[in-house]
Chain A
Amino acid sequence: MKVKNGILRGSLKVKGGKLIKCMIKLKEGKIKEIKISGDFFMHPEEKIEGLEKALKGVEFEKESIEEKLNEILRDVELVGIDKEDFINVIFSASPVNSNFS
Chain B
Amino acid sequence: MQFRLIIDGYRNAFENMALDEAMLLNGIPTLRLYKWRPSAISIGYFQSIEEEVNLEECKKQGVDVVRRITGGGAVYHDENGEITYSFVCPENFLPKNILESYKIICSSLANALKILGLKAKHAGINDIIVNGRKISGSAQTRKKGSILQHGTLLLSVDVKKMFSLLRVGKEKISDKEIKAVEDRVTSVERELGKINEEEIINAMIKGFKKTMKIEFCEGKFDKKELKMAEKLRRKYESKEWNFKR
Contact = CB atoms under 8 A, between A and B. Distances in A.
Interface of A: 16-17, 21, 35-45, 48, 77, 79-80
Interface string B21-62: 000000000000000000000001111100100000000000
Identify whether the interface residues of B are mostly helix, strand, loop, or mixed: loop
A21 B71 contact: no
B112 interface: no
Interface residues of B, number: 22
Contacts of B139: 41
Interface string B84-101: 000000000000001100
Contact of B71 (A17, A35, A41): A41
Given A16-B124, A35-B245, A37-B51, A44 B46 contact: no
Contact of B47 (A16, A17, A37, A77): A37
B143 to A, nearest CB: 7
Identify whether the interface residues of A are mostly helix, strand, loop, or mixed: strand
A36 B74 CA distance: 16
Given A16-B124, A16-B125, A80-B125, A45 B141 contact: yes
Nearest to B96: A77
